[in-house]
A and B are shown apart, each in its own frame.
Chain A
Amino acid sequence: MQLEAESPSSARGWGDFDRLVAALPPALFRQFKLLEYDLALRYSPTGQFRDVFSGPDHPPVLSVSTRLLSDLETPPGASRDQTERRLFVASVLMAARVQTVEGLRDPGGFTTDDRIALVQWLSEQACAEIARVVPRNSSFWDAYAATAGEGANLLAARWEPDPVNGLNDEPEALLASPFSAPIRLSALAALAAADRSEAGARVAEMLDQMANSYQVMADLASMRHDLELGRTSYPIAFIARAAGILLRPRATPEVILGAMVITGSLRPIMEAALGSLRSAHEIAMDLQLPTFAAFLSDAEAHLEARLASWTVGQPREGLAWPVPLVPQSTPTLPHALSMAGAFLLADPTLRESWETHREGMLGRSEVASRFPAGLILEMLCRCGVDVRQAIDEFLEFTVANGFRYYDHPRSGVDSDTIGVFLRLGPHATASRDYDRAATAVLECLERNVQETGAIPVWITGCAGAEGSESGVIALGEGCGTVAAHLLLGLAPVANEHGPTVTIGAQNLLDRIGSVGLAANVNYPPLYALGVFFRLLQLLDAPDGPAATRGIEDARRALTTELERAVWAGAQTAQDAALLILACYDAHREDLIDPAWLVRVLKRQRFDGSWIGEPFAAAPNRGRSVSWYSSTLLTTALCFDALAREANRLAAATD
């Protein structure tokens, strides 16, 4: 006796559910739309949302109440129809909540913290649906409170295992389905509505056994992923116990997988799942619940066929099962890096990153600065990507453009452009010689530095650039990060420009020592932190430039700023990436919060990029200023941060 895949009441239930979702405010609706697809991808045999949790491969999460009301021969009528529909909607809401919470727990997935709003809505709405069919004075509400508490406690324990009290690595202690609580609540509500609460305990036992069986198979399916995340599940603990492997300290994924083969653990693990299904089936028979018994019998046969296709950890000849038991799982970090790298290299000119103005700057319909592309190329070099050809083209353009910031003859010559030119020079094709190209502009810079005692943002009085100093307002003067950018390029080649480096570095060190991060004007403070720390390292090196005073004072001031930034944390992917980079540049990897890496990973888009975030102020129409942002630049920052974390994690496991 089987229940139709979509009974009339569940069809009406879907209609009720669709109306509920359609009424969601836009932000929640968008969140739910992604959740719908997530559920369909994981739990629908057809990929359609309406088919979630149907068929013997998935627990019947949505049909528990309908099955119970049918099996208990509840009289048909408006009351039963109302109960079925409301509890169906509640079941969908609770299943959706499980999926959202599981997504939040996955550091490599894309369920971001803002989905907590959806969790709240799903919880409250599910409770409201149940309350419409279960009387307020029913003992169900005591069971509801207890089950909800158990579910929440289980979730808390799985989220952050207690290092003192949570050391039970026996497989059975780890067997807990996140669907247990929703299934049980749905069943108990149906029993209460039908005034049959006396059967609750046995029904709950049956459902727990069923949920455990499905959880074993789900844990097998996610075993590679769990191993990569350092999580322990039933099959992992089972294999470890069979092989005599300690789970603390954590064994590598390969060790557990190898032990799985040697011990032939796949079969007994599947037998455990089958045993739970059989127990559930027996209870269903005892309770005379025919649709449950039929479903469980079908599921049992399905699993038996699957088990029969395997002998000791291997498929029996000629009976290969089409669905993998323990599928491959691509490690998240290298995968994300590969996607990001492909995105960054898709356009060698990095055109999207150029600061392109179309508001009429300098009397032209379009003016651009390629400077951000230089920053991206520099980060790619640091990560070991071969971008020599792109660097050659960037440097050739910079020389041809007279080291101006914008591609316009009236644009000023600036220290940022010279700095990135000098820093990229060593990474250009070996046969090219760009050193002499900068001679004239560096002599001009030297005069500026001698006159003012500091490195300017805009360099004045250079031959060929005289027209740039009339009729324009040059913004951003006095930025210490621009000075640091220049010094990072000039100091390593400072033979002829020693005084420029010494004067410029001393001035900047004094400023940082005095005002800290406020020495930065034009860049995100977290970015400036990294640049300043890199400069300190260069100035402090044994073979560094001429002695300068105040390095330790500056380091102290910046370390205080870094610690403050670490305490404040990061809200966006770019901020998280910048914090990671700043910690590396300060050689304070100990300050890195693993949550920052998760924040970066969760915000990656399907094309490998991260959406551009504000990076610097840029003039806009109406003599106003708005934020420059670039998807390529933000992606490069995230790529750099991920690459450094990947190197660190690889070194830690060597």
Chain B
Amino acid sequence: MDDQAPMRGDPNLFYGLLGRALTEDSFREALKGGAEEQAAALRSVGIEPTEEVIKALNESIEAIGRLASAGAFGLIPYVT
């Protein structure tokens, strides 16, 4: 994976998008949907859905899906 967000402008927008996908099942599902759903989700957070962005999103969303399905973000009590 790249070291930085694949977009000009504020990279935090893309990071924030992925972070939200990691914590919100419904948002993650929307990002995994068709091209139109993806574009709408990106635009909803102020990101222009360029080819480069879509490619990076698809690569990342797969990793996020694995993280989430492995229970890394499950509701198991944690140690502090």
State the A residues within 8 Å of B (CB).
41-43, 57-58, 102, 217-218, 221-222, 224-225, 242-245, 251-264, 312-315, 320-330
Contacts and interface: CB of A to CB of B under 8 A. Distances in A.
Given A261-B63, A320-B70, 5 more contacts: A252-B16, A312-B1, A314-B66, A324-B73, A327-B72
Q: Residue among B17, B66, B78 with the most chain A CB within 10 A?
A: B78
A328 B3 contact: no
B16 A315 contact: no
A244 B72 contact: no
User: Chain B interface: which size bin?
Assistant: 20 to 34
A262 B61 CA distance: 10
Given A314-B67, A315-B70, A256 B19 contact: yes
A42 to B, nearest CB: 5
A321 B4 contact: no
A88 to B, nearest CB: 22
Nearest to B73: A328
Interface in B7-29: 11-12, 14-23
B15 A254 contact: yes
Given A218-B79, A262-B4, A257 B22 contact: yes
Contacts of B72: 315, 324-327
A93 B15 CA distance: 43
Contacts of A41: 77
Q: Residue among A217, A256, A328 with the most chain B CB within 10 A?
A: A328
A328 B76 CA distance: 8
A324 B67 CA distance: 9
Given A261-B67, A326-B73, A225 B80 contact: yes
Nearest to A328: B73
- Lowest 5 A-B CB distances belong to which pairs? A254-B19, A258-B18, A258-B15, A257-B19, A258-B19
A330 B24 CA distance: 12
A635 B13 CA distance: 38
A225 B70 CA distance: 20
B51 interface: no
B67 A254 contact: no
B15 A259 contact: yes
B64 interface: yes
B74 interface: yes
Given A324-B72, A324-B74, A102 B80 contact: yes
B15 A222 contact: no
B71 interface: yes
Nearest to B13: A255
A243 B79 contact: no
A243 B77 CA distance: 28
Nearest to A227: B19
A258 B80 contact: no
28 contacts: A42-B80, A57-B79, A58-B79, A218-B79, A221-B79, A242-B3, A243-B11, A244-B11, A252-B12, A254-B15, A254-B18, A255-B15, A257-B19, A258-B16, A261-B18, A261-B64, A262-B1, A262-B3, A262-B18, A262-B60, A314-B67, A314-B70, A315-B67, A325-B72, A326-B73, A327-B77, A328-B23, A328-B75
